[in-house]
Amino acid sequence: MSFNEGLPVRPDGQGAILTVRVTPKSSRDEVEGVDADANGQSFLKVRVRAIPDKGAANKSVCQLIAKWLGLPKSAVSLKSGDAQRVKHLSVDAKPEEIAARILES
């Protein structure tokens, strides 16, 4: 079994790619935990107060994930999924560290 089996994180060069499913216009900013879609693809459920307008929700997601992982804001950026609910974030951290944080939450 690999470290990330069933987790929404995978290696990418020196960092990792984290898959998140975003619910904008929420009552609070929070990371809810791991879930999967009908095809079995896992993602980290994230809620943000920001509206999906001019990248505001995407920026909030990146900031929330950085804070949640204990990283600087600049360590998390949007890789793909600009206008989709499921997004792929590029994270400047080891995939094992992200997987450990997911498992402890």
Q: Which two tokens stand for residue 5?
A: 């089996």
- Taking CA atoms, 90 is separated from 6, 13, 17, 45, 77, in Å, by 19, 10, 5, 16, 5
Q: Is the pLDDT of residue 4 over 80?
A: no
* Tens digit of each residue's pLDDT (9 = 90 or more) over 33-79: 999 999 999 999 999 999 999 999 999 999 999 999 999 999 999 99
* Tens digit of each residue's pLDDT (9 = 90 or more) over 24-44: 999 999 999 999 999 999 999
* Residue 6 confidence (pLDDT): 85
CATH superfamily of 9-104: YggU-like (3.30.1200.10)
Sorted by where each begins, the domain ranges of the chain are 9-104
Spatial CB neighbours of 4, under 8 Å, sequence gap ≥ 6: 10, 95, 99
Of residues 92, 54, 61, 99, the one with CA closest to residue 75? 92
